[in-house]
Structure 1
């Protein structure tokens, strides 16, 4: 017959083992998911989406727009009525002093006062806040474009730093082989110790350049981390096509570029500021007609006397209109002209910068293609020829090292040109937020 205590302890031990297994399984699942999340590659589009989702600036602009909309609703309403309560003609001397009912002139007063703001003035005040809301949304578009652009620049900086590091890693392996070859020929009596030292110097130069590139890579990762957080440590993939833009260069001449940039977020913000200034000028014009205030009072006297009602109207007297209302209107109209001029100047600035950037982007692409099509293949052929001559005893190790050094320089220069073109591409391609349609169609390559 089984022991009773043993029979009771088995289920409890089984439950504990199952709980332990479940806990270990959960820990492994969480760890594996975290490992997958860390190792998951990060594309440029994903990085930009993550940067937009993490941004608190965009949330702040939404809050600002909502606040202005609420103020616009409030501005359409009449001012709150004013309750007036008081005592008139209270005696303070004589036998009736401080009596509220003995003297026939003593009255307890209750009244309402209402300012009658004209409907057109209330409408203009509301429109002014609505323009503020529009400006906050335009600021959000500007910030979205800047976030996408800066994220793209940080992503591309890290991408090309890694690409350059890969070139140096490949060349470092070749440099180590060159050292082994120089040492072998030196031991065989066909080479000199100077060749061995030259090969080692070449390896040291590559290591020094790799150290500099590693610093640039770390800084690029830090800049990307500012936008995407811990995801900046993930591997990158999916280099964008930097030979195409979101607008059509083939149909974009100097005149149409200006019309295109009118919709630029920074220009749009200044356009909203101009609308705000115009709304304030319209309101100043409406203020030339004063608002009336109506007041009704009920006056209660002692029981021996009758109660009374008083009605009054208050009208501001614009006795110095030339130096008050007219001056205010002139100031607001000057602010409108100021906003127009600032917008026009900003448009000219962006037009010049964009035209120059397009030229630089096209030039960098053409030079990069020349490197890939002509210069790098020639450098590779020269390196192969130098190596063959060295193996045949017709050239020294210095010729081989010089050819490989030139090849490294050309490969890095080609990557630098491509990185420069990618930076110009980021500035041009994200003049506008990706969530908004461009004023023109998707671009084609330069003809």
Structure 2
């Protein structure tokens, strides 16, 4: 199904587009509609039975007048469930619909996270490609210096060749990043239900996330203490206990599990009440030839002679299934708490990495490249020194962009787990 390219390509607009176009969300909406449609039939009475026929027709002399008991019959029968059974069935279906509603909310969060993850991966590849331009310029300067030194007889041909090899390495990196960007773009467009190569413009980590990840100025970066491995100070993320409480309260996954437990509880109660008999009532009218018409009324009640072999095992099965679902709920809650703790740790880890790169690694790396290039230009250092400094700087810049991307993805995962925003809302 093709969709027009939206004029605005920001992340928020793409999320809104996914909420309209996502096939997974359409499927979840359809399942919810189906579950809601099952509620009313679940509590409806069984259909009445219309009966018609011939009663007491002699086989030896088929005739309506040969025997006074021969008659034409028409009747109506109805099964009446034992009181309370219909309500239990309706309650179970209503809880199933609640579970489907929670599943829809969970799918919505999954789709939003898929869009954000793919968007952030596209942003990473885009920013990494942008880093290649100054890196390529540095390598070009190194190559020119090597050629000048070689032409002047003070350098070696090996230095010229090494500079060219490093330039080829940059081209190789560009090719790899371009393919990564195409793959991430395809994942993003898949979540939006459109062609894999549909372009998305102006892709970057949102400012709100970037400011939450690291201070704008390196002078504003601080740490909780001076110990090795201390976290970066000023985190905008709530404490772990707050996030876990929010996840337990809001998470649609837990709401779905709770609704499944409630639905099975109603089914277990129905299984217990199913040992109580339903009633079959019928009324029949018989017309006889030349004789008075007759009316027959009857009530049928099943005898639960196989209760130990049939109803009791069904009750045990329903109760065991409820116990399993309750245990699944506890396991899901514990897993959710552990996942929230892991994701918060991942977010804080990337905040700290970004702070370390901002205050030390990147400034020192840039200074090292400038110094090594100047020394090589004047013949005071060799090619290995300048290429090592340049390679280390490029790797650090890539690591910084990767840490920013991983922070953004950790926030997306936390918001999926908690079912709500975990960063303070910005005021206009």
| Aligned equivalent of 1:253, options 237, 241, 250 | 241
Q: Secondary structure at the match of 1:127?
A: helix
Q: Secondary structure at the match of 1:108?
A: strand
Q: Secondary structure at the match of 2:285?
A: strand
- What is the CA-CA distance between 1:223 and the residue it aligns to? 1.3
Name the structure 1 match of 2:336. Answer: 350
Name the structure 2 match of 1:160. Answer: 124
**RMSD of the alignment, in Å?**
2.5
| Aligned equivalent of 1:339, options 325, 331, 338 | 325
User: Separation in 2 of the partners of 1:369 and 1:284?
Assistant: 60
Query: Does structure 1 residue 92 correspond to structure 2 residue 35?
Result: no
- What is the CA-CA distance between 1:251 and the residue it aligns to? 4.3
Change (3 A) 1:57 1:192: closer
Name the structure 1 match of 2:200. Answer: 234
| Aligned equivalent of 2:277, options 283, 290, 298 | 290
User: Separation in 2 of the partners of 1:425 and 1:338?
Assistant: 32
Name the structure 2 match of 1:4. Answer: none
Q: Secondary structure at the match of 2:9?
A: coil
Gaps of 5+ in 2: 214-234
Change (3 A) 1:258 1:323: farther
Mapping of residues 13-162 of structure 1, within 5 Å: 37=5, 40=7, 42-93=9-60, 97-162=61-126
Asked if structure 2 preserves the Cα contact closer than 8 Å seen for 1:41 and 1:236, the reply is no
Q: Secondary structure at the match of 1:404?
A: helix
Asked if structure 2 preserves the Cα contact closer than 8 Å seen for 1:145 and 1:432, the reply is no
- What is the CA-CA distance between 1:170 and the residue it aligns to? 2.1
| Structure whose residues are more often helix by fraction | 1
Deviates most, 220-229 or 152-161? 220-229
Name the structure 1 match of 2:189. Answer: 225
Name the structure 1 match of 2:222. Answer: none
Asked if structure 1 preserves the Cα contact closer than 8 Å seen for 2:123 and 2:204, the reply is no
Name the structure 2 match of 1:321. Answer: 307
Gaps of 5+ in 1: 1-33
- Residues 184-203 of structure 1: CA deviation (Å, up to 9, x unaligned): 23223333322212211221
Change (3 A) 1:67 1:192: closer
Q: Secondary structure at the match of 1:430?
A: helix
- What is the CA-CA distance between 1:427 and the residue it aligns to? 0.9
Normalised by the length of structure 1, the TM-score is 0.83
- What is the CA-CA distance between 1:381 and the residue it aligns to? 0.7
| Aligned equivalent of 2:298, options 312, 320, 323 | 312
Name the structure 2 match of 1:378. Answer: 364
Change (3 A) 1:288 1:43: same
Name the structure 2 match of 1:177. Answer: 141
- Residues 111-158 of structure 1: CA deviation (Å, up to 9, x unaligned): 111112245211111111111111111110111111111111111111
- What is the CA-CA distance between 1:369 and the residue it aligns to? 1.4
Change (3 A) 1:222 1:424: same
Which aligned segments of 4 or more residues in structure 1 are displaced greater than 4 angstroms? Answer: 441-444
User: Separation in 2 of the partners of 1:271 and 1:130?
Assistant: 13
Asked if structure 2 preserves the Cα contact closer than 8 Å seen for 1:127 and 1:279, the reply is yes
| Aligned equivalent of 1:211, options 170, 175, 190 | 175
Asked if structure 1 preserves the Cα contact closer than 8 Å seen for 2:126 and 2:203, the reply is no
User: Separation in 1 of the partners of 2:8 and 2:38?
Assistant: 46
Q: Secondary structure at the match of 1:52?
A: helix
Deviates most, 309-318 or 342-351? 342-351
Asked if structure 2 preserves the Cα contact closer than 8 Å seen for 1:138 and 1:269, the reply is yes
User: Separation in 1 of the partners of 2:237 and 2:369?
Assistant: 40
- What is the CA-CA distance between 1:262 and the residue it aligns to? 4.8
Computing the radius of gyration from Cα coordinates, the structure with the larger value is 1
Q: Secondary structure at the match of 1:233?
A: coil
